[in-house]
């Protein structure tokens, strides 16, 4: 499961970056580089070199202008995911490739949806994540999942319903309406 960052940590890191504290950048990179790289790689179709470049650019932009992140608008983890998403999509759009503009838009939409779903699963509370993992990936039924988790079948169904609702939001995500994380 991913590291949780309390709002105070986000504010402290932003302040330290603003003070030019290179150790803050290192700490930030250690905590979130895997997230950024995974999103970029998913969107860019597994292109490791391009994913690395996008990841470095996200952190360079934050280092150069830490005021781009505003803790009042949400967690730093979300800002990094959104910034990575936007940069990777922009890079994907700039790539010369086969297909009509509609086909390119479909590829971008599919890659964005997959990356968003990955982010949602990684950010999901552990009880929801575990219930989904057991039923969707391990193919256990609700009774077996409840037994393995030590909860009732009704609680298992509730967790699955909540987890699936969160995942369904991945296809409805509109990065253009998300508020412009990268400027």
pLDDT band with cut points at 50, 70 and 90 for residue 4 = low
Q: Which of 83-92, 94-103, 117-126 has the lowest mean pLDDT?
A: 94-103
Q: What is the pTM of this model?
A: 0.66
pLDDT tens-digit series, residues 125-142: 888 888 988 888 788 899
Say if residue 144's pLDDT is above 80.
Answer: yes
Look at residue 136 in the predicted model and tell me its pLDDT. Answer: 80
Tokens of 70: 């505003």
Among 38, 33, 31, 40, smallest CA distance to 13 is for: 31
Instruction: Identify the helix (H) or strand (E) that includes residue 62.
Output: helix 48-64
C-beta pairs of 119-128 under 8 Å, 24+ apart in sequence: 119/35, 119/39, 119/81, 120/166, 120/167, 120/169, 120/170, 121/167, 122/1, 122/2, 122/35, 122/38, 123/2, 123/77, 124/163, 124/166, 126/1, 127/159, 128/159, 128/162, 128/163, 128/166
Q: How confident is the model at residue 2 (pLDDT cuts 50, 70, 90)?
A: very low
Confidence band of 153 (pLDDT split at 50, 70, 90): very high
Please, which residues have CB within 8 angstroms of residue 104's CB and are 6 or more apart in sequence? 93, 97
């Amino acid at each position: 499961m991913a590291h949780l960052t309390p709002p105070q940590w986000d504010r402290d890191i932003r302040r330290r970056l603003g003070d030019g504290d290179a150790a803050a950048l290192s700490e930030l990179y250690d905590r979130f580089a895997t997230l950024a790289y995974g999103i970029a790689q998913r969107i860019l179709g597994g292109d490791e070199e391009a994913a690395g470049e996008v990841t470095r650019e996200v952190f360079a932009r934050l280092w150069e202008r830490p005021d781009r992140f505003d803790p009042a608008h949400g967690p730093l983890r979300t800002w990094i995911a959104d910034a990575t998403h936007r940069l990777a999509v922009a890079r994907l759009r700039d790539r010369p490739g086969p297909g009509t503009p509609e086909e390119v838009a479909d590829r971008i939409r599919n890659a964005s949806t997959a990356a968003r779903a990955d982010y949602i699963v990684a950010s999901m509370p552990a009880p929801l994540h575990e219930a989904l993992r057991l039923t969707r990936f391990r193919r256990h039924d609700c009774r077996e999942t409840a037994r393995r988790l030590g909860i009732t079948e009704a609680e298992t169904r509730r967790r699955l319903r909540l987890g699936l609702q969160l995942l369904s939001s991945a296809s409805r995500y509109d990065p253009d309406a998300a508020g412009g994380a990268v400027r």
